[in-house]
Chains A and B, each alone.
Chain A
Amino acid sequence: MSIFKKIITALRGGASEAGEAIVDANATRIFAQEIRDAENHLTKAKRDLTDIMAKQMQSQRELDRIKRSITEHEGYATSALNQGNEALALEVAEKIATLEAELAEQQQSFDSYDKNAKRLKDLVKNTERQLADYQRQLSMVKTTESVQKATAAITDNFNNSNSKLLNAKQSLERIKAKQQNFDDRLQASDELANENSDKALKDKLAQAGIGEQQASASSVLDRLKSKQG
């Protein structure tokens, strides 16, 4: 059964009570071991691949060398024939035959390295893919377990602290009320600040003799006198 299915089955089946593991610890350990094995295989396959590719490059250079040598000797043989030196041409032809045998042999090695390199590249690719998949699955198991343990810690903490777990609507109402209270206070303090700054300005204006003036005793007396007049 896939890990995904196992987790769903365990969660649906209510096996998620604290202390009860989703996937038993032993299975998780075996799984982790499989991942380590796959990683080791991958490292080895990559090293082998490097070796094979190095040998393949050497073989390629050797092939080129033999091919150049054959072309060179074919030139020599033709020249010898042109000079009418059949004996020398034959000797060169023998050399060419040897080179061709060598070429065939080298080509065989090259093909074999090439085949192995392709096989190892496929192996590396598949192992890497498998490893990523194993790691993803292990991460699911670990996350599920971690969330369960975290939930257990949170629940314990709530029970120990006597914090009353409110229902969602009550919580929201309380938060809204606090927010309203906070907004009201903010507004009140804004208004207060405005009033204070108004008063300060009026005071300054009064000091400068601008705006409404307080009636002085002499001005009141003047007014009364003018009425008597």
Chain B
Amino acid sequence: MNIHYIANHLNELADSSDTGLRFDSLPITGEVDVLQVTIQTREELPIFVSITDDQILCIAYLWGEEEVRADTRSEMLEAMVEMNIPMPLSSFSKIDDKYVIFGALSVNSSLHDIEHELSVLSDNSLEVINEMADYLI
């Protein structure tokens, strides 16, 4: 499994995806290969896919520390920890000063599984921002 294989699949899907979403993917070169996946009408919230030895990581950036309201910060953190289990397939994390939502898949996952993961992750990220907007500036 590599990001180009995933990119080709997503780009070829076009209108025929099972999820009803249209994906566009763009490889980003760096020390580690990253695939930037955007979904039509949701371009502002791209998903970044990278592959390690044993897992495929799909990460979407939610908000930065500077966007968090200081007075309800610990309440927000608790809500995020509590939502980790109920939220299907995705979990919360933090990279540097950015809060993220991510899903990890086995490297042996099928392209269909990856497509499903991306779709659920995108839906979750929209809903999370919508529902947690009160904690944000």
Q: Which A residues are closer than 8 A to B by beta carbons?
A: 16, 139, 142-143, 146-147, 149-154, 156-157, 166-172, 174-175, 178-179, 182
Contact = CB atoms under 8 A, between A and B. Distances in A.
Given A150-B34, A151-B96, A172-B133, A167 B63 contact: yes
B64 A167 contact: yes
Contacts of B16: none
Contacts of B129: 168-169, 171-172
B36 interface: yes
A178 B32 contact: no
A149 B41 contact: no
A153 B3 CA distance: 14
A126 B129 CA distance: 47
5 contacts: A154-B48, A172-B126, A172-B129, A175-B41, A175-B126
A144 to B, nearest CB: 10
Contacts, number: 81
Interface of B: 28-32, 34, 36, 41-42, 44-45, 48, 50, 52-55, 57, 59, 62-64, 67, 95-96, 126, 129-130, 133, 136-137
A172 B32 contact: no
A174 B42 CA distance: 8
Contacts of B64: 167
Contact of B36 (A147, A151, A157, A182): A157
